[in-house]
Amino acid sequence: MASPHPDIDHILLTADAIAARVAELGAEVGRDLAGADGQLVIVPVMTGGFIIVADLVRHLPQRRVRIEVVTVSSYGGTNMTSRGAQLIGALPPTLEGKHVLVVDDILDTGGTLRLLQAEILRRGAASSRSCVLLRKPTAGAAQTKCDYVGFDIPDEFVVGYGLDFDGLYRNLPYVGTLAMHARTATPPPLTEVRAS
């Protein structure tokens, strides 16, 4: 589908398709973790996971849940390939007896999820599950346990709905492929606006 944004080649997933699938994921999580009321900890991976988790938790209104954000660095800036996952934001020191659901925007190399799953279990969680909006057809993704997947997509560089390039495009309500000119162009410098 053509995009109204000049930096997007085409829309891969519309806002309506994403909303419908996130509602389905919320229903699945709600059923699977029905017995975890008050013991459910949802861990969005910042920054990309904040939009999907905001929409996902609204489909769990009958559940008492905690949200504990975590930051993992793997891409950064204009890098389009992972440099390896590193935990740079803290998980709670103990997750004893908790049922933890990690929510991320995309499963590509799998490094982020594998790192977090190991840390969560090391901190005493009763269970560790993961949910991603998108999964690419890579060897790393195939080797990584993921309980809930929104969409399987081609191995293309995508932005929107939380996914970024150099911190931009997270605000797009759809997921689209980033045009080559947007990946290579140097943005114009910001100019100071003076009050007259």
Q: What CATH number is given to the structural domain containing 175?
A: 3.40.50.2020
Q: Burial of 137 by CB count in 10 Å (0-12 exposed, 13-18 middle, 19+ buried)? A: exposed
In this model, does residue 194 exceed pLDDT 70?
no
Average pLDDT over residues 63-77: 79
Question: CB count, 10 Å around CB of 52?
Answer: 27
> Does 68 map to a domain?
yes
The answer to whether residue 193 sits within a structural domain is: no
**Region of residue 113 (phi > 0: left; psi between -120 and 50: alpha; otherwise: beta):** alpha
Residue 113 to residue 85: CA distance in whole angstroms: 9
Q: Is residue 149 over pLDDT 80?
A: yes
Query: What's the Rg (C-alpha) of the chain?
Result: 18
The pLDDT of residue 58 is above 70: yes
pLDDT of 135 > 70? The answer is yes
Rounded average pLDDT over 170-189: 83
Instruction: Report yes or no on 56 lying in a domain.
Output: yes
The total domain count for the chain is 1
Average pLDDT over residues 167-185: 91
pLDDT at 84: 59
CA distance 52 to 9: 23
Least confident residue range of 8-12, 34-38, 78-82, 182-186: 78-82
- Confidence (pTM): 0.85
- Please indicate whether residue 187 or residue 14 has the higher confidence score (pLDDT): 14
Report pLDDT for 74.
63
The pLDDT of residue 92 is above 90 = no
Q: Note whether residue 195 is domain-resident.
A: no
| Full residue range of the structural domain in which residue 29 is found | 8-75+84-182
According to the model, what pLDDT value does residue 191 have? 45
Q: 4 Cβ partners below 8 Å, 6+ apart?
A: none
pLDDT for 53? 97
Q: Are 157 and 165 in contact (CB under 8 A)?
A: yes
Give the catalytic positions in this structure: 108
Cα 162 from Cα 167, distance rounded (Å): 10
**12, 156 contact by CB (below 8 A):** yes
The pLDDT assigned to 39 comes to: 92
pLDDT digits (tens, 9 = 90+) for 99-131: 999 999 999 999 999 999 999 999 999 999 999
